[in-house]
Structure 1
Amino acid sequence: MSARYIVITGAASGLGWALTKALFARGDNLLLIDRDATLLAERQQSLGVSQRITTAVADLGCAEGIAQALSRIHDSFDRVDVLINNAGITHRSLAGQTKPEVLRKVMTVDWQAPVELALGLLPKLRQSRGSIINLGSMAGWMPVLGRAGYCSAKSALGQFFEVLRAEERDNGLHVLMVYPAFVNTNIEQNALGGDGNAAQHARSTIGGISEAEPLAEKIIRALDKRKARLYPHRGIWLASLLWRLQPDIFQYLMRRKFAVELEQT
């Protein structure tokens, strides 16, 4: 396989960094986007001097940052084979105690930015018959207490790209939706509280917390096979069935499992 031209958002940490290392080792050309300029520079340096690495500092939580990222991609790459929408943000706060600006930021990073990047790169992706990879979440299928904004954004993300896949099928565009559960990344460490500051309580989880590197390998294998969807954790897939078949039972169990969220006032 010849070297591809790949764009990765949120590339400096967590799953984005795991994907970066794995794809760089395969010989691909990478454009790494992250809002943390210092960490991004350190990551680039750790990979060594290479013409295969380009970086862009951009905050995908605002319109200006999204525009900056697109401009950098177009200036750097004449061709785009893969867009990996990995950057994400979450919150841990009850819906009724969450400021609108927090919800707006979560929606911008988790939905608006992936959509605008995909549409802005669509001509290049059509030309290469390339791929878009989106990091969805189990929270896009089923309710999770204290994550109303995040659930909404991930649900919208899945719906938009499921539609885009169907519409672009004749153009050869491949869309991979990844639906993980809880992964050991910075997204939860950097979770917002309802007031926009850092969340003050630890996250609740269902099942175990997986590591980024094994998930990155699963995503790359799914990309190579041009799969439509990846469900890395079987237990979460079963939980989604419970939500669909017995939603009242699911909500009862969720309120017990995530009771700590109801205690936040």
Structure 2
Amino acid sequence: MEVNFTDKVVLITGASAGIGEATALLFAKLGAKLSIVGRNEENLKSVAERCEREKGLKPLAIVADLATDEGVERTAKETIEHYGRLDVLINNAGISARTCIQRADMATFDAVFALDVRGVYNLTRLLVPRLIETKGNIVNVSSISATVVAVGSLPYGMAKAALDHFTKLIALELAPKGVRVNAVSPGLTVSKIVTRMTGCSEEEYQAWLARATKVVPMGEVCVGLDIAKMIAHIASDDMSRLVTGTIVQVDGGLQFGTPGTFIAEQMK
């Protein structure tokens, strides 16, 4: 059985790079009508153009900051005005930060929670009525940082733990309405988030990836497409019709194979 999203309206946040970009391109290939959201206008335009080349369907590209109420409200409004419906909401947008309680500041905490938790909460709240109408589903993109304890992962780990619990809570609430809610929890994944977070060069990042690969039991770090394929699998009613309230790890065995303190050492 092949995954197919023909005539399904799919909203993907954080689609201008990394996992979101890979997810947008995969769903375009699978026939979805896309609403894609990102903060980088140039990158988002490029992703939209590549998505359109897959099946000839032009995505709705929304440049918005989902850490703000204005950005969230405009995203929900423009998506529904453009398509008139929503079948799948993929909450992928997020930021990270490396800090610990001994040097933490509240500005960093607020920035991470504004996007990774409040933005997801708010956008989901606004779009749930539309998902109930279509018996649609939600996929949240979490992280193994939600469960693997590592020095330096504040407040990102806290935010992703909150996202996991949010996933389970609303899955229970929305199940009688026919709406499924799940999360994908990536392990070490090739993306721009590490370079943005640490300010390291591309050469330093590649060296970090080489070290990180050695601590993954299956011997490989993830790429965006690995996560995108799992998102598509869970979002498909044909493949995952009765799957809800589940956190699916895509990490090459890292979560149970490596102590969090060692992960932290690799990230220094």
TM-score range, shorter chain: 0.7 to 0.9
SS of alignment partner, residue 89 of structure 2? strand
1:63: Cα distance to partner? 2.6
Distance 1:161 1:48 in 2: 31
The farther-off stretch of 146-155 and 59-68 is 59-68
Distance 1:38 1:166, change over 3 A: same
1:86 aligns with one of 73, 88, 92: 92
Q: Does 1:231 align with 2:249?
A: yes
2:23 aligns with one of 19, 23, 27: 19
Residue 43 of structure 1: aligned partner = 47
1:6: Cα distance to partner? 0.4
1:33 aligns with one of 22, 28, 37: 37
Distance 2:266 2:150 in 1: 12
Q: Does 1:220 align with 2:223?
A: no
Distance 1:85 1:155 in 2: 15
The farther-off stretch of 76-85 and 42-51 is 42-51
Q: Residues 20 and 93 of structure 2 are in contact (CA less than 8 Å); yes or no, is this contact kept in structure 1? A: yes
1:122 aligns with one of 128, 151, 165: 128
SS of alignment partner, residue 119 of structure 1? helix
Q: Which consecutive residues of structure 2, in runs of 5 or more, have no partner in the other structure?
A: none
Distance 1:103 1:199, change over 3 A: farther
Q: Residues 91 and 199 of structure 1 are in contact (CA less than 8 Å); yes or no, is this contact kept in structure 2? A: no
Distance 2:249 2:263 in 1: 22
Distance 1:254 1:211 in 2: 21
1:61: Cα distance to partner? 2.2
Residue 3 of structure 1: aligned partner = 7
Q: Which amino acid aligns with 1:39?
A: N
- Aligned-pair identity (%): 22
SS of alignment partner, residue 190 of structure 1? helix
Runs of 4+ in 1 over 6 A off after TM superposition: 199-204
1:113: Cα distance to partner? 1.0
Q: Which amino acid aligns with 1:236?
A: L
1:260: Cα distance to partner? 6.9
Residue 246 of structure 1: aligned partner = none
How do 1:181-192 residues align onto structure 2 when only pairs under 5 Å count?
Answer: 181-191=187-197
Q: Does 1:168 align with 2:174?
A: yes
1:28: Cα distance to partner? 1.0
1:234: Cα distance to partner? 5.0
- What count of residue pairs does the alignment treat as equivalent? 245
Distance 1:26 1:257 in 2: 35
Distance 1:38 1:234, change over 3 A: closer
1:256: Cα distance to partner? 4.8
1:48: Cα distance to partner? 4.0
Distance 1:81 1:134, change over 3 A: same
Distance 1:95 1:52, change over 3 A: same
Q: Residues 10 and 34 of structure 1 are in contact (CA less than 8 Å); yes or no, is this contact kept in structure 2? A: yes
TM-score by length of 1: 0.83
1:80: Cα distance to partner? 0.3
Distance 1:88 1:137 in 2: 11
Q: Which amino acid aligns with 1:211?
A: V
The farther-off stretch of 60-69 and 124-133 is 60-69
Distance 2:265 2:32 in 1: 45
How do 1:136-215 residues align onto structure 2 when only pairs under 5 Å count?
Answer: 136-191=142-197, 198=199, 205=212, 206-207=215-216, 208-215=220-227
Residue 82 of structure 2: aligned partner = 76
CA RMSD of aligned residues (A): 2.4
Q: Which amino acid aligns with 1:11?
A: A
Distance 1:236 1:140 in 2: 13
The farther-off stretch of 123-132 and 198-207 is 198-207
TM-score by length of 2: 0.82
Distance 1:4 1:135 in 2: 20
1:14: Cα distance to partner? 1.0
